Amino acid sequence: MSATQPQLNGAAHAPVAPSNDTLLRLYREMLRLRTLDERMMTLQRQGRVGFYGACTGQEAATLASAIALEPQDWIFPALREAGAMLMRGFPLVPYLCQVFGNEGDETKGRQMPSHMASKSVNQVSWGSCIGTQLPQAVGAAMAARIKGDKTVIAAYMGDGATSEGDFHVAMNFAGVFKPPVVFICQNNHWAISVPSSKQTASESIAIKAVAYGMPGVKVDGNDAVAVYGAVKAAVDRARRGEGPSLVECETYRIGAHSSSDDPTRYRDEREVDAWKKRDPIEHLKRVITEQKLWTEAQDADLRAKLLDEVNAAIAEAEKKNDPARETLFDDVYAVMPWNLREQKAEMLAAPPVPRPDAKTIAG
């Protein structure tokens, strides 16, 4: 299973090459996500949001795989695939409102931060419980097969999820019944503080596909062209009715697992420095520059525009109010029972608690 010659269906299968327009769009989206993550981590340190999970260093594995999907396809994400929503057309302001948990959030501020989801772009919320999305993704793929439509389901996971029973259940069921699902593993070498060497004794994660009767391929997850090629081939295969595949994208989590984590306590910074030299954004920039699709002047202009776009969206999202208190009782029962009606009335009779400002939160 070579990074340059994916093995699908037991034979060499040429990866699908992205168009120039796809490469340029992908570069912009990767750079926007990096800009957004840097700003949001700063806001978290300032106490303006409570939690954030960045994708830094994994933008190619996330976005080059997602761009290989069609709009009707569904994404069942893990922690670092939220940015795919933006690439698929979800507006930046409500995306940020989910992190702030305010009235601009489609999920009404009820979900944990960095758990973005929207039916408008066919992306469900990840569940924090590692690996639970995998059997759910297979179920959605079975529904697509039964309905006879051409929808493909992308089931994302980290390397740590392959140690969960849900991984076995999902892979085994998919291998037997062959629904249109593509398993995409972002092997970033660290499941919070547990290295991938302690997750498996296999030579790769991709090779696990063999035991479940499906093709597997391992690619350089920091090479956007390689990721796109392998995932697009697997997606096309699934859409033709040829069953599931597993694509392992070997990448690296440059930053902390989340804003709550201190990676200096468990990993060597020399390892981080080595992977920084393989930055997926810089790699794609070299590709489009060498192909005469991009210039340094265009790059400087894009970076400035993206920073303005992100800052403007943050300013708009941050000024929105908290969700109305009474929405706490919505979406639970079709007809509200008497005990909840009483609780709602009691809550509305009490004065609202003032919202603390960022200075108060930060102490």
% of the chain surpassing 90 pLDDT: 88
Q: Is the pLDDT of residue 12 over 80?
A: no
The 3-class secondary structure across the chain, one letter per residue, is CCCCCCEECCEECCCCCCCHHHHHHHHHHHHHHHHHHHHHHHHHHCCCCCCCCCCCCCHHHHHHHHCCCCCCCEEECCCCCCHHHHHCCCCHHHHHHHHHCCCCCCCCCCCCCCCCCEHHHCECCCCCCCCCHHHHHHHHHHHHHHHCCCCCEEEEEEHHHHHCHHHHHHHHHHHHHCCCEEEEEEECCEECCEEHHHCCCCCCCHHHHHHHCCCEEEEECCCHHHHHHHHHHHHHHHHCCCCCEEEEEECCCCCCCCCCCCHHHCCCHHHHHHHHCCCHHHHHHHHHHHCCCCCHHHHHHHHHHHHHHHHHHHHHHHCCCCCCHHHHHCCCCCCCCHHHHHHHHHHHHCCCCCCCCHHHHHC
CB count within 10 Å of CB 134 equals 28
CB count within 10 Å of CB 163 equals 16
pLDDT band for position 262 (cuts 50, 70, 90): very high
The one catalytic residue in 145, 237, 253, 283 is 253
**Each residue's pLDDT tens digit, 187-212:** 999 999 999 999 999 999 999 999 99
In terms of phi and psi (left: phi > 0; alpha: psi -120 to 50; beta: otherwise), the region of 255 is beta
Q: Is the pLDDT of residue 357 over 90?
A: no
**Each residue's pLDDT tens digit, 216-229:** 999 999 999 999 99
**Each residue's pLDDT tens digit, 80-123:** 999 999 999 999 999 999 999 999 999 999 988 999 999 999 99
**What predicted TM-score, i.e. pTM, was given to this entire model?**
0.92
The one catalytic residue in 266, 286, 325, 355 is 266
pLDDT band for position 9 (cuts 50, 70, 90): very low
Q: What tokens appear for 253 in the block?
A: 């989590």
117 contacts 107 by C-beta, under 8 angstroms = yes
pLDDT band for position 4 (cuts 50, 70, 90): very low
Domains in the chain (CATH in brackets) are 7-318 (3.40.50.970), 333-362 (no CATH)
Indicate if 27 belongs to the active site.
Answer: no
Nearest to 167 by CA among 117, 143, 202, 121: 202
Q: Is the pLDDT of residue 332 over 90?
A: no
Task: Supply the pLDDT for residue 356.
Answer: 67
Give ∠ CA 224-65-120 in degrees, rounded to 5.
Answer: 135
Indicate if 283 belongs to the active site.
Answer: no
Q: What's the order of all strands across the beta sheet hosting 74-76?
A: 74-76, 153-158, 181-187, 245-250, 216-220
**Each residue's pLDDT tens digit, 226-240:** 999 999 999 999 999
Indicate if 145 belongs to the active site.
Answer: no
pLDDT band for position 359 (cuts 50, 70, 90): low
Q: Is the pLDDT of residue 14 over 80?
A: no
Q: Is the pLDDT of residue 59 over 70?
A: yes
pLDDT band for position 354 (cuts 50, 70, 90): confident
Higher pLDDT, 153 or 10: 153
Q: Which amino acid is at 38?
A: E
Residue 80 φ then ψ, to 5°: -110, 25
Task: Supply the pLDDT for residue 360.
Answer: 53
**Mean predicted lDDT score pLDDT of the chain:** 93
220 contacts 284 by C-beta, under 8 angstroms = no
pLDDT band for position 358 (cuts 50, 70, 90): low
In terms of phi and psi (left: phi > 0; alpha: psi -120 to 50; beta: otherwise), the region of 331 is left
pLDDT band for position 2 (cuts 50, 70, 90): very low
